[in-house]
Amino acid sequence: MSRAVAICLVFVFALALLGPSAQAQTTKAEPQFLVEAVYDAVEAGDIDGALELLADDAVLTVLPAPEGQEDAAFVGKDEIRMWWEGLYADNPHAEFYDVTVTDNRATWKAEWWGDFFRSIDLAPAQFEGVAVIQDGKVSSMIWANTPEYVERMNQRMATLANKELAQQYLKAWEQADLEALDEMIADDFVNHSPPLPEDKEGMKEFAAEDKAASPEGVYIIEQMVAEGDLVFLYGYKQIDAENGFYWSTLLRIADGKLVERWGTASE
């Protein structure tokens, strides 16, 4: 998994610690249960008020564990405050449903909106939760993405990572950054579209020749579409003030490397 995907996954799981956004709604029904009241307070920016609804030794668990954490648990109010304060700017909004409260145990499902999820077309996120409530305060909470949402999220993150790699490849080609190209292109890479060479080493040599022929040339992406392991790019290469050509490239990506390429060019 690429660093970009991992970072993005960490942020997704961290956002599960927030609640509905005051900016998103001006009025709201009374909370169904104590956990919803906690997130209502976070929504209002009242972090202290939210923490007052937790036991002093409260434990918040996020599954799977965020990157950089030795385990999945945030223990105590200080650690929980850190997450709530750090992520409040995402303008989140949560809706709880299928709430069940039995004795000192509560379970729920939630749909989650926020700027991050919207920006990557993953809103709403789906979560399941369970909490233990003792003496009128939450002593422990667990938030977990549903299996279906985890699969959807993994697919989306992989698609975003592929698009990022395609853009990095084009920039490295434009700059004849042979070291970067060597890292991005798989050893068994195959180019299917002459006149570019068929293999990895030939492609690197051609990139250097292309740069020498048009040192001021710039590749402009006008359209990019990704689906599965394929990324399609269409755009224009500005050679100089008066000359250029349109191009299109289809890349297949596997395990974070470029493995196949098809392309066309026309004036």
Q: What is the CATH number of domain 154-266?
A: 3.10.450.50
CB atoms within 10 A of CB 238: 16
CA 174 to chain CA centroid, nearest Å: 27
> Could you read off the pLDDT tens digit of each residue along the chain, which spans 267 residues?
444 444 344 444 444 443 443 333 434 556 678 999 998 888 888 999 999 999 999 999 988 776 677 788 999 999 999 888 866 878 888 899 999 999 899 999 999 888 888 998 899 999 999 999 999 999 999 999 999 999 998 999 999 999 999 999 999 999 999 999 999 999 999 999 999 999 999 999 999 999 999 999 999 999 999 999 999 999 999 999 889 999 999 999 999 999 999 999 986
The CATH architecture one would assign to domain 3-145 is Roll (3.10)
Provide CB contacts within 8 A for 75, sequence distance 6+. 57, 59
Q: Do domains 3-145 and 154-266 have the same CATH topology?
A: yes
* Domain definitions of the chain by residue range: 3-145, 154-266
Could you tell me the CA-to-CA distances from 234 to 209, 213, 214, 256 in Å, in that order?
22, 21, 19, 21
As a whole number of Å, the CA-based R_g of the chain is 24
